[in-house]
């Protein structure tokens, strides 16, 4: 352990930048990374404003941040796929490799998983972190640190697209054009959807999503989404519906958007249980899928970024210096409709 400067959530509503004791020794199978860029995520902001998410409560000071990219500066014993100087991004969730879930390949839902900036685990808004090499991924030369820090939320979109089992030419509907919804739409299009009808109430968010080829924006304040989907699909319905708003209300009408035999992928996490229209779901034999973070999606996400087929740069709204990271969080709390992703950078 060693004292390191970090952005610390002391308790609900109170952030400080100060020294805090954090792991510093690079053990076998681990690498030490100099952090370059960290994204501000809705969950980090929620811990700041509410002090908890469901059962996860901030009971003692916790370093925030889990969407990170940086440079390897030390390599532990036995690590062969990384070397000092490699530019990397990191999966923030570390499962128990011997758990039953991990052995089944479902390591993201291992009950023993520890995840950066999920109490009581510290996040990575600090200059250096130690991490298992197996959860550290090399970035291609043409993928910047800023994009590397976008891999974490993009991997959620990739997991959603994978769970949907998209067929080439499918029509998708994405409810919610926040960072997650927009990245789900991008992943669905990369995965073969011919178009993604993206619905939101906030026009600025829709304008950002609409920059991507294949996105059809629908402002649900002005247009009836069910009518639009029906019109665009010749009354058949969409093949895949991704619920990415987290709004309970979205579930009231969602079944009507899907085609017979279609799939609904629940990505958004409503705070309270929602009503479920079993009869409509059954008469259409709708398949329901759920998503919790991601498993085995970092390699694919990085490959798509490296291929140039996916560009996440238009989603980065503003970058703050580490010294201004409290400002970045206060800006995220403002929830400007023109902001998608805010990032914090350690180097000029
Ligand atoms: P966000 O709040 O930034 O975006 C939500 C968007 O939905 C907003 O633009 C809002 O205007 C819009 N919206 C609200 N009600 C709507 C409605 N009825 N129809 C359509 N759009 C509506 O949130 P985010 O960071 O993009 O995350 C979205 C959701 O995904 C959250 O519930 C979050 O908890 C969840 N999430 C899930 C996972 C997972 O692993 N399953 C991972 C990350 C985030
Ligand atoms: Zn995140």
**Which residue stretches of 178-286 are H helix?**
179-190, 203-209, 225-232, 250-253, 278-283
Specify the ligand 1 atom closest to the Cα of 246. 32
The answer on pLDDT for 11 being more than 90 is yes
Number of H helices, E strands in the chain: 11, 20
Query: pLDDT tens digits, residue range 78-124?
Result: 999 999 999 999 999 999 999 999 999 999 999 999 999 999 999 99
Closest residue (by CA) to atom 3 of ligand 1?
A: 178
- Residue from 50, 52, 268, 332 whose mutation best tests the ligand 1 pocket (most atoms within 8 A of CB): 268
Flag whether the pTM goes above 0.90. yes
CA atoms within 13 A on the CB side of 217: 20
Ligand nearest to the CA of 225: 1
Which percentage of the chain shows pLDDT scores above 70?
100
Q: What is the mean pLDDT of residues 44-72?
A: 97
Give the model's pLDDT for residue 347: 83
Query: pLDDT tens digits, residue range 295-316?
Result: 999 999 999 999 999 999 999 9
SS3 assignment, position 152? helix
The region that residue 306 occupies, defined by phi over 0 for left and psi between -120 and 50 for alpha, beta otherwise, is: alpha
The answer to whether 209 touches 175, Cβ cutoff 8 Å, is no
The answer on pLDDT for 271 being more than 70 is yes
The residue to which tokens 């987290």 are assigned: 246
Residue 271, token pair as written in the block = 């705070």
Which percentage of the chain shows pLDDT scores above 90?
99
Q: How far apart are CA 48 and CA 8, in angstroms?
A: 10
Q: What is the mean pLDDT of the chain?
A: 97
The answer on pLDDT for 237 being more than 70 is yes
Residue 71 CA to ligand 1 centre (angstroms) = 31
Q: How far apart are CA 208 and CA 204, in angstroms?
A: 6
The answer on pLDDT for 348 being more than 70 is no
Specify the ligand 1 atom closest to the Cα of 247. 15
Q: What is the mean pLDDT of residues 143-160?
A: 98
Residue 301 CA to ligand 2 centre (angstroms) = 15
Q: How far apart are CA 308 and CA 225, in angstroms?
A: 32
Ligand nearest to the CA of 66: 2
User: How does residue 22 score in pLDDT terms, banded at 50, 70 and 90?
Assistant: very high
Question: Before 63, cis peptide (omega within 30)?
Answer: no
The answer on pLDDT for 289 being more than 70 is yes
Ligand 1 neighbours by CB, cut-off 6 Å = 42, 156, 175-181, 199-202, 205, 220, 244-247, 249-250, 267-269, 291-293
Nearest C-alpha neighbor of 41 from the set 297, 293, 308, 310: 293
Residue 182 CA to ligand 1 centre (angstroms) = 10
Residue 150 CA to ligand 2 centre (angstroms) = 9
């Amino acid at each position: 352990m060693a004292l390191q400067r970090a952005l610390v959530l002391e308790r609900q509503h109170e952030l400080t930048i100060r020294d805090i004791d954090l792991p510093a020794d690079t053990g076998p199978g681990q690498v030490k990374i100099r952090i370059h860029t960290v994204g501000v995520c809705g969950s980090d902001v929620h811990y700041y404003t509410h002090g908890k998410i469901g059962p996860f409560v901030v009971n003692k000071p916790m370093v925030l941040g889990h969407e990170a990219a940086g440079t390897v500066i030390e390599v532990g014993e036995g690590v062969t796929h990384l070397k000092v100087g490699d530019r990397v991004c990191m999966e923030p969730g570390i499962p128990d490799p011997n758990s039953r879930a991990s052995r089944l390949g479902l390591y993201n839902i291992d009950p023993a998983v520890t995840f950066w900036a999920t109490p009581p685990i510290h996040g990575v808004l600090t200059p250096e972190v130690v991490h298992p090499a197996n959860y550290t991924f090399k970035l291609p030369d043409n993928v910047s640190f800023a994009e590397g820090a976008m891999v974490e939320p993009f991997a959620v979109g990739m997991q959603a697209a994978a769970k949907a089992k998209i067929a080439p030419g499918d029509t998708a509907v994405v409810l919610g054009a926040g960072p997650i919804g927009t990245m789900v739409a991008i992943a669905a299009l990369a995965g073969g959807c011919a178009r993604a009808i993206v619905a939101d109430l906030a026009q600025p968010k829709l304008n950002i999503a609409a920059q991507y080829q294949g996105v059809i924006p629908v402002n649900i304040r002005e247009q009836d989404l069910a009518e639009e989907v029906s019109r665009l699909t010749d009354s058949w319905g969409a093949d895949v519906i991704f619920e990415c708003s987290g709004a309970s209300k979205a579930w009231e009408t969602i079944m009507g958007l899907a085609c017979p035999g279609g799939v609904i992928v629940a990505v958004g996490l409503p705070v309270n249980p929602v009503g479920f229209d079993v009869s409509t779901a059954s008469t259409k034999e709708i398949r329901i899928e759920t998503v919790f973070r991601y498993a085995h999606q970092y390699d694919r996400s990085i490959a798509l970024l490296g291929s140039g087929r996916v560009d996440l740069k238009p989603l980065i709204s503003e970058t703050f210096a580490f010294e201004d990271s409290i400002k970045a969080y206060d800006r995220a709390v403002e929830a400007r409709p023109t902001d998608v992703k805010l990032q914090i950078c350690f180097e000029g």
